[in-house]
Protein backbone atom coordinates (compact mmCIF):
# COMPACT_ATOMS: atom_id res chain seq x y z
CA UNK A 1 0.00 0.00 0.00
CA UNK A 2 1.33 3.44 -0.81
CA UNK A 3 2.94 5.27 2.09
CA UNK A 4 1.05 8.45 1.30
CA UNK A 5 -2.38 6.91 1.92
CA UNK A 6 -4.17 8.75 4.73
CA UNK A 7 -5.13 5.94 7.09
CA UNK A 8 -6.99 8.33 9.40
CA UNK A 9 -9.21 10.05 6.86
CA UNK A 10 -10.08 6.87 4.93
CA UNK A 11 -12.04 3.78 5.94
CA UNK A 12 -11.98 0.03 5.45
CA UNK A 13 -14.97 -1.92 4.22
CA UNK A 14 -15.61 -3.55 7.63
CA UNK A 15 -15.49 -0.12 9.32
CA UNK A 16 -18.12 1.19 6.91
CA UNK A 17 -20.31 -1.90 7.19
CA UNK A 18 -20.35 -1.73 10.98
CA UNK A 19 -20.75 2.04 11.20
CA UNK A 20 -23.72 2.03 8.79
CA UNK A 21 -25.15 -1.28 10.04
CA UNK A 22 -25.25 -2.66 6.51
CA UNK A 23 -26.79 -6.14 6.16
CA UNK A 24 -24.75 -9.03 4.74
CA UNK A 25 -23.64 -8.52 1.12
CA UNK A 26 -25.28 -5.08 0.95
CA UNK A 27 -21.89 -3.36 0.87
CA UNK A 28 -20.77 -5.40 -2.15
CA UNK A 29 -24.02 -4.68 -3.96
CA UNK A 30 -23.69 -0.95 -3.29
CA UNK A 31 -20.13 -1.09 -4.59
CA UNK A 32 -21.34 -2.64 -7.85
CA UNK A 33 -23.80 0.26 -8.25
CA UNK A 34 -20.99 2.79 -7.91
CA UNK A 35 -21.74 3.98 -4.38
CA UNK A 36 -18.31 3.24 -2.86
CA UNK A 37 -16.36 5.70 -4.99
CA UNK A 38 -13.74 6.91 -4.89
CA UNK A 39 -11.93 3.85 -3.61
CA UNK A 40 -8.53 4.98 -2.34
CA UNK A 41 -6.67 1.66 -2.47
CA UNK A 42 -7.25 -1.83 -3.77
CA UNK A 43 -7.06 -4.81 -1.43
CA UNK A 44 -3.63 -6.39 -1.18
CA UNK A 45 -2.18 -9.36 0.62
CA UNK A 46 -3.10 -8.94 4.27
CA UNK A 47 -4.44 -5.44 3.66
CA UNK A 48 -8.00 -4.27 3.23
CA UNK A 49 -9.13 -1.81 0.60
CA UNK A 50 -9.66 1.72 1.85
CA UNK A 51 -12.46 4.10 0.89
CA UNK A 52 -12.77 7.87 0.92
CA UNK A 53 -15.07 10.02 2.99
CA UNK A 54 -17.08 10.71 -0.17
CA UNK A 55 -17.65 6.95 -0.50
CA UNK A 56 -18.83 6.74 3.11
CA UNK A 57 -21.19 9.65 2.44
CA UNK A 58 -22.71 8.04 -0.68
CA UNK A 59 -23.13 4.70 1.07
CA UNK A 60 -24.87 6.44 3.95
CA UNK A 61 -27.23 8.17 1.51
CA UNK A 62 -28.09 4.86 -0.18
CA UNK A 63 -28.73 3.20 3.18
CA UNK A 64 -31.09 5.97 4.28
CA UNK A 65 -32.98 5.87 0.98
CA UNK A 66 -33.39 2.09 0.87
CA UNK A 67 -36.51 1.74 3.07
CA UNK A 68 -38.11 4.73 1.33
CA UNK A 69 -37.24 4.02 -2.29
CA UNK A 70 -38.49 0.44 -2.46
CA UNK A 71 -35.27 -1.42 -1.79
CA UNK A 72 -31.50 -1.28 -1.86
CA UNK A 73 -31.09 -1.38 -5.65
CA UNK A 74 -33.28 1.65 -6.50
CA UNK A 75 -31.80 3.51 -3.52
CA UNK A 76 -28.29 2.74 -4.75
CA UNK A 77 -29.10 4.02 -8.23
CA UNK A 78 -30.63 7.21 -6.90
CA UNK A 79 -27.65 7.77 -4.59
CA UNK A 80 -25.11 7.11 -7.35
CA UNK A 81 -26.81 9.77 -9.48
CA UNK A 82 -27.32 12.33 -6.72
CA UNK A 83 -23.91 11.88 -5.10
CA UNK A 84 -21.69 13.35 -7.82
CA UNK A 85 -23.92 16.41 -8.16
CA UNK A 86 -23.85 17.11 -4.43
CA UNK A 87 -20.08 16.62 -4.37
CA UNK A 88 -19.57 18.93 -7.34
CA UNK A 89 -21.55 21.65 -5.59
CA UNK A 90 -20.48 21.24 -1.99
CA UNK A 91 -17.46 18.97 -1.78
CA UNK A 92 -17.59 15.38 -0.63
CA UNK A 93 -20.64 16.02 1.54
CA UNK A 94 -22.80 19.04 2.38
CA UNK A 95 -24.73 17.36 5.15
CA UNK A 96 -24.31 19.56 8.22
CA UNK A 97 -20.55 19.99 7.92
CA UNK A 98 -20.68 23.73 7.31
CA UNK A 99 -22.41 23.99 10.67
CA UNK A 100 -19.75 21.77 12.24
CA UNK A 101 -17.00 24.05 10.96
CA UNK A 102 -18.86 26.98 12.49
CA UNK A 103 -19.07 25.10 15.80
CA UNK A 104 -15.30 24.70 15.79
CA UNK A 105 -14.80 28.41 15.25
CA UNK A 106 -17.29 29.35 17.96
CA UNK A 107 -15.56 27.02 20.43
CA UNK A 108 -12.16 28.51 19.54
CA UNK A 109 -10.85 25.06 18.66
CA UNK A 110 -7.71 25.07 16.53
CA UNK A 111 -8.48 23.49 13.18
CA UNK A 112 -4.87 22.75 12.21
CA UNK A 113 -5.23 19.07 13.14
CA UNK A 114 -8.38 18.81 11.00
CA UNK A 115 -6.25 18.68 7.86
CA UNK A 116 -4.82 15.61 6.20
CA UNK A 117 -1.19 14.99 5.19
CA UNK A 118 -1.77 16.88 1.95
CA UNK A 119 -2.98 19.96 3.82
CA UNK A 120 -6.55 19.53 2.63
CA UNK A 121 -9.50 19.73 5.00
CA UNK A 122 -10.44 16.28 6.39
CA UNK A 123 -14.05 15.62 7.37
CA UNK A 124 -13.18 12.72 9.66
CA UNK A 125 -10.61 14.75 11.59
CA UNK A 126 -13.12 17.58 11.96
CA UNK A 127 -15.68 15.18 13.42
CA UNK A 128 -13.07 13.73 15.77
CA UNK A 129 -12.04 17.20 16.98
CA UNK A 130 -15.64 18.11 17.74
CA UNK A 131 -16.34 14.77 19.39
CA UNK A 132 -13.34 15.02 21.72
CA UNK A 133 -14.39 18.56 22.63
CA UNK A 134 -17.93 17.37 23.41
CA UNK A 135 -19.34 19.46 20.56
CA UNK A 136 -20.50 16.78 18.12
CA UNK A 137 -24.26 16.35 18.46
CA UNK A 138 -25.27 12.87 17.33
CA UNK A 139 -28.74 13.01 18.89
CA UNK A 140 -30.58 15.84 17.12
CA UNK A 141 -30.99 16.94 13.50
CA UNK A 142 -29.44 20.23 12.46
CA UNK A 143 -29.66 22.73 9.62
CA UNK A 144 -28.28 21.21 6.44
CA UNK A 145 -28.84 17.61 7.55
CA UNK A 146 -31.74 16.98 5.17
CA UNK A 147 -32.19 16.30 1.51
CA UNK A 148 -35.47 16.19 -0.34
CA UNK A 149 -36.09 13.50 -2.94
CA UNK A 150 -39.07 13.93 -5.24
CA UNK A 151 -40.27 10.80 -7.01
CA UNK A 152 -42.97 10.67 -9.67
CA UNK A 153 -43.61 8.20 -12.46
CA UNK A 154 -40.12 8.37 -13.94
CA UNK A 155 -38.27 11.33 -12.45
CA UNK A 156 -36.14 11.85 -9.38
CA UNK A 157 -34.86 15.20 -8.13
CA UNK A 158 -32.76 16.01 -5.11
CA UNK A 159 -31.61 19.02 -3.18
CA UNK A 160 -30.77 20.03 0.36
CA UNK A 161 -32.40 22.75 2.42
CA UNK A 162 -29.62 25.18 1.56
CA UNK A 163 -30.34 24.97 -2.16
CA UNK A 164 -29.14 22.93 -5.10
CA UNK A 165 -29.24 23.51 -8.83
CA UNK A 166 -28.25 22.22 -12.24
CA UNK A 167 -29.28 19.11 -14.08
CA UNK A 168 -27.77 15.68 -13.92
CA UNK A 169 -28.92 12.64 -15.83
CA UNK A 170 -28.15 9.19 -14.60
CA UNK A 171 -27.28 6.48 -17.11
CA UNK A 172 -29.14 3.99 -14.92
CA UNK A 173 -32.81 4.09 -15.80
CA UNK A 174 -35.50 4.50 -14.60
CA UNK A 175 -34.02 7.13 -12.29
CA UNK A 176 -32.87 10.19 -14.27
CA UNK A 177 -32.19 13.15 -12.00
CA UNK A 178 -33.88 16.36 -13.07
CA UNK A 179 -32.91 19.98 -12.35
CA UNK A 180 -33.55 21.02 -8.79
CA UNK A 181 -34.29 24.57 -7.69
CA UNK A 182 -33.47 26.38 -4.49
CA UNK A 183 -36.01 26.04 -1.71
CA UNK A 184 -36.20 26.17 2.06
CA UNK A 185 -38.26 24.34 4.61
CA UNK A 186 -40.69 26.46 6.59
CA UNK A 187 -42.74 24.56 9.11
CA UNK A 188 -44.44 21.75 7.21
CA UNK A 189 -44.53 23.53 3.88
CA UNK A 190 -42.04 24.02 1.08
CA UNK A 191 -41.27 27.65 0.37
CA UNK A 192 -39.79 28.58 -2.99
CA UNK A 193 -37.14 31.29 -3.06
CA UNK A 194 -34.41 32.70 -5.28
CA UNK A 195 -35.83 31.35 -8.51
CA UNK A 196 -33.75 32.21 -11.56
CA UNK A 197 -36.85 32.59 -13.71
CA UNK A 198 -40.65 32.39 -13.21
CA UNK A 199 -40.89 29.35 -15.46
CA UNK A 200 -38.47 27.48 -13.21
CA UNK A 201 -40.59 28.22 -10.17
CA UNK A 202 -43.66 27.00 -12.05
CA UNK A 203 -41.79 23.86 -13.09
CA UNK A 204 -40.75 23.07 -9.54
CA UNK A 205 -44.23 23.67 -8.13
CA UNK A 206 -45.66 21.39 -10.81
CA UNK A 207 -43.12 18.69 -9.90
CA UNK A 208 -44.17 18.87 -6.26
CA UNK A 209 -47.86 18.81 -7.13
CA UNK A 210 -47.69 15.70 -9.33
CA UNK A 211 -45.11 13.81 -7.30
CA UNK A 212 -45.99 10.28 -6.29
CA UNK A 213 -43.73 10.56 -3.27
CA UNK A 214 -41.77 13.32 -1.56
CA UNK A 215 -39.11 11.97 0.76
CA UNK A 216 -37.48 14.09 3.43
CA UNK A 217 -34.33 12.23 4.40
CA UNK A 218 -32.03 13.15 7.27
CA UNK A 219 -28.64 12.00 6.05
CA UNK A 220 -26.52 14.37 8.15
CA UNK A 221 -27.46 12.93 11.53
CA UNK A 222 -26.88 9.34 10.42
CA UNK A 223 -23.51 10.33 8.96
CA UNK A 224 -22.44 11.90 12.27
CA UNK A 225 -23.51 8.76 14.10
CA UNK A 226 -21.49 6.62 11.69
CA UNK A 227 -18.42 8.78 12.27
CA UNK A 228 -18.79 8.57 16.05
CA UNK A 229 -19.04 4.78 15.76
CA UNK A 230 -15.78 4.69 13.79
CA UNK A 231 -14.06 7.09 16.22
CA UNK A 232 -15.04 4.98 19.23
CA UNK A 233 -14.11 1.72 17.51
CA UNK A 234 -10.68 3.01 16.54
CA UNK A 235 -10.10 4.39 20.02
CA UNK A 236 -11.03 1.06 21.61
CA UNK A 237 -8.61 -0.82 19.35
CA UNK A 238 -5.58 1.30 20.26
Would you list the domain boundaries of the chain?
Answer: 11-237
* pLDDT number for residue 189: 38
Mean pLDDT of 135-147: 78
- DSSP string for residues in 166-194: -----SSTT-PBPP---EEEETTEEEE--
* pLDDT number for residue 18: 96
- Over residues 80-110, the pLDDT tens digits come to 777 776 666 556 545 567 677 777 888 888 8
* pLDDT number for residue 36: 80
- Over residues 211-223, the pLDDT tens digits come to 666 666 778 889 9
* pLDDT number for residue 202: 66
Q: SS3 letters for 38-60?
A: CEEECCECCECCEECHHHHHHHH
Gap between the Cα atoms of 185 and 183, Å rounded: 7
Residue 233 pLDDT exceeds 90: yes
Higher pLDDT, 116 or 227: 227
Q: What is the dihedral of CA 208, 219, 104, 89, to 10 degrees?
A: -60
Helices (H), the chain: 13-20, 26-32, 53-69, 72-90, 97-106, 123-132, 198-209, 219-237
Mean pLDDT of 110-132: 87
Q: 79 pLDDT band (50/70/90 cuts)?
A: confident
| Residue 157 burial class via C-beta count within 10 angstroms: exposed 0-12, middle 13-18, buried 19 and up | buried
Mean pLDDT of 121-134: 90
CA-based max dimension of the chain: 59
Cα 145 to Cα 51, 138, 174: the distances in Å are 22, 11, 27
- Over residues 25-47, the pLDDT tens digits come to 899 999 888 888 778 888 887 88
Closest Cα partner for 14 from 236, 238, 233, 235? 233
Residue 118 pLDDT exceeds 60: yes
Higher pLDDT, 108 or 153: 108
Check: CB of residue 79 under 8 Å from CB of residue 62.
Answer: yes
Mean pLDDT of 224-232: 96
Handedness of CA 169, 175, 179, 183 (dihedral sign): negative
* pLDDT number for residue 171: 30
- Over residues 157-200, the pLDDT tens digits come to 443 323 222 222 223 333 333 333 333 333 333 444 444 556 65
Gap between the Cα atoms of 176 and 139, Å rounded: 34
Highest mean pLDDT among 42-56, 108-122, 133-147: 42-56
Closest Cα partner for 220 from 165, 138, 156? 138
* pLDDT number for residue 22: 92
Backbone phi and psi for residue 168, each to the nearest 5 degrees, phi listed first: -145, 135
Backbone phi and psi for residue 156, each to the nearest 5 degrees, phi listed first: -130, 135
Amino acid sequence: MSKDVDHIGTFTGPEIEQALSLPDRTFEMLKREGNALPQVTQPARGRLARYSFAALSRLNLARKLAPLAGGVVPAARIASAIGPELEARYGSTPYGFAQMQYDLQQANICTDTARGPDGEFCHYRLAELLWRAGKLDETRPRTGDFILVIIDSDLVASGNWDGLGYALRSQKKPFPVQPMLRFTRAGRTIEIEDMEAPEKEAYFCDRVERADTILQVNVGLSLRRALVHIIKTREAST
